[in-house]
Structure 1
């Protein structure tokens, strides 16, 4: 019984880290496979292939492709340029070697500063000058060996990424998007609490905003990798950009609601609006959580009819309040607050419709390609 109690939490911990465990396994397999291949071909410095296979292994296939391309182009530029410097610039003395290092590094460092995809070029160029093995084999032969070893490591890394527990960037993107939407549901609750009960929810807001920003950045990074997979014809999934754009629009709408909710509603206004506001809050929270679940599972999105009905009820109550005599006795900022709330909820309704459409599109177009998940 005690063992069952221990296995349960342990299993939950492993399940929560499934993506990380898969990545660790892919990295391990890529490194071991690259080592085996370099031994089969008897490469003089095969460890570079092993290092490259590990370096290019990212969380998704698109990320691995990007890392492999950057590693190859940077290595090719560094090996060619560094090999030329080693071949034609004397570096037998300390002074000569120092001059060669400066000559080898500065142009490539400038290139890497302008185009970060070449960031390994200065390192490769420097390696061409420093190791004794490179000098013993000859600079041009060493350059060819380096490119071959790095190419082999890139191939192994991408192949393992494609076929060993593959993680599609679209899947990572939708998971991150689902996290954003679920956090937005908590944010809406915090805003409504501020409107009805005052700033006691300020602490939760201070936690939620950084979490949402981090989740949005994660979704945006995964979308970039998903677009790369799409351009490489590794998937037939829809363009990821509209989903990320919609998430940012919803985020902007929530900021507008947050500004309107920064001050509690006066008691007379709250008495008129609280029933419809509470219903709208509940319907919107349920809708956001259901959208998050649909994104996570890539299933059809929920029906937004309940949210639309609650929004219509709130809009009717707001319009009735604006014509009520009590509004004449309230400060202008309260009147503006009621108008701002109505406008913000109408805006978010439009972008939630767009989010529902994006969710529906993802459900209809399941991720496809080798090893899709």
Structure 2
């Protein structure tokens, strides 16, 4: 019994890190395959192909394509320019070598500062001046070998990324989006608690906001890689940008709700709106959690009917309450708070409806291409 429980715990931890394990396996295969190819071709500096294959291997195919393109463009630029500097600028003495390094580094360092995709170019240019191999076979031949080996490493890395346990950036994006939505459900609960019970969720907010920002950045980065996969015709998944834009709009709506919920509602307001507010909380939280599951598993989005009805009920109660004489006896700040809540909830309704449509687009795409993941 004890051993079976131990095995189950190991399986659970492995399952929780399946994406990381797949990436580690792809990196290992890419490096080993690149090494084998360099030995077959008898390349003089084959280790560069191995290093490149490992460097370009990213969490998704789109990320690997980006890394491969940047690695190749930077290496090609650095090798050509560094080779020319090594060929035509004397660098036999320490003083001459120092001058040649300045000539080789400054223009490419400036290029890399302006365009980060070329950040490997200064390194490659510098290597062209320093290694004994480049001096033994000549700078231009060394530059050719360097570009050939980097190209080989790029090809191996991308091929392994595409065919060995491929992780599509689109899947990474929807997983990150699901994380954002589930965290939004927690955030909404904290806001309602602050409205009804006071500012007791400050510590929770301090944890939730950084987590949401981190998940949004991860989703946005994966969306950029997914766009690259679409442009490379590696997938026919929908354009990821609408989903990311909608996630940010929903985030903005929740910020507005949070501002309106920064102070508890006065007792007369809670007595009148408390029931509809609790119902709205329950239906909203359930909808967001179900939506997170739909995004993660690319299923049909949940039905928002209960949420719509609860929001309509709250809006009706709030409007009636604002019209009553009791409201005129309360401070103007309270009137503004109830109005701000109603406005923020309506904006939230619109953007949440859009998010449901974006999730439905993912489902339709999966139905058209069941093999796409």
Q: Which residue of 2 aligns with 1:142?
A: 142
Where in structure 2 are the equivalents of 1:224-243 lying within 5 Å? 224-243=224-243
Note closer, same or farther for the CA distance 1:317–1:263 as it changes in structure 2 (3 Å cut).
Answer: same
* Cα separation, partners in 2 of 1:368 and 1:53, compared to 1, 3 Å: farther
Q: Is the 1:242–1:358 contact (alpha carbons within 8 Å) kept by the matching residues of 2?
A: yes
**Partner residue of 2:57?**
57
Shift of residue 366 of structure 1?
2.2
Using the alignment, how far apart are the partners of 1:310 and 1:291 within structure 2? 17
Is 2:300 the partner of 1:296?
Answer: no
State the 1:4 CA deviation: 1.1
Is the Cα–Cα contact under 8 Å of residues 170 and 367 in structure 1 kept in the other structure? Answer: no
Q: How does 1:202-241 map to 2 (within 5 A)?
A: 202-241=202-241
Note the C-alpha offset of 1:238: 0.4
**Does 2:335 match 1:358?**
no
Q: How does 1:1-373 map to 2 (within 5 A)?
A: 1-366=1-366, 372-373=372-373
Aligned residues, how many? 373
Q: Is the contact between residue 112 and residue 121 of structure 1 (CA under 8 Å) also seen in structure 2?
A: yes
Measure the CA separation in 2 of the matches of 1:279 and 1:369: 39
Give the distance between the partners of 2:101 and 2:370, measured in 1 at CA. Answer: 44
Q: Describe the SS at the equivalent of 1:101.
A: helix
State the distance in 2 between where 1:161 and 1:74 align. 21
Query: In the alignment, is the contact (CA less than 8 A) between 1:91 and 1:100 conserved in 2?
Result: yes
Distance in structure 2 (CA, Å) of the matches to 1:194 and 1:317: 20
Query: Structure 1 residues 369 and 302, CA, compared in 2 at 3 Å: closer, same or farther?
Result: closer
In the alignment, is the contact (CA less than 8 A) between 1:236 and 1:368 conserved in 2?
Answer: no
1:97-125 deviations in Å (ceiling 9; x for gaps): 00000100000000000000000000000
RMSD of aligned residue pairs (Cα, Å): 1.2
How far apart in 2 are the matches of 1:332 and 1:19? 53
Deviation at 1:12, TM superposition (A): 1.2
CA deviations 1:301-345 (Å, max 9, x no partner) are 011000000000001100111012211221100000000000000
Shift of 1:370: 12
2: CA distance, partners of 1:356 / 1:219: 17
- CA distance in 2 between counterparts of 1:178 and 1:356 reads 12
Alignment partners' CA distance in 1, 2:128 and 2:98? 14
CA–CA separation in structure 2 for the residues paired with 1:152 and 1:228: 21
State the SS of the aligned residue for 2:366. Answer: coil
**How far apart are residue 368 of structure 1 and its match?**
8.8
What is the Cα deviation at residue 369 of structure 1?
8.7
**Structure 1 length-normalised TM:** 0.99
Unmatched 5+ stretches in structure 2:
none
Measured after TM superposition, the shift of residue 367 of structure 1 is: 9.3
Local SS of the residue matching 1:366: helix
Structure 1 residue ranges (4+ consecutive) displaced by more than 6 angstroms after TM superposition: 367-371
2 CA distance for matches of 1:364 and 1:295?
12
SS at match of 1:69: helix
CA contact (8 A) 1:49 1:152 kept: yes
Quote how far apart the aligned CAs of 1:372 are: 4.0
Partners of 2:276 and 2:302 in 1: CA distance? 21
Pairwise CA distance, 1:371: 7.9
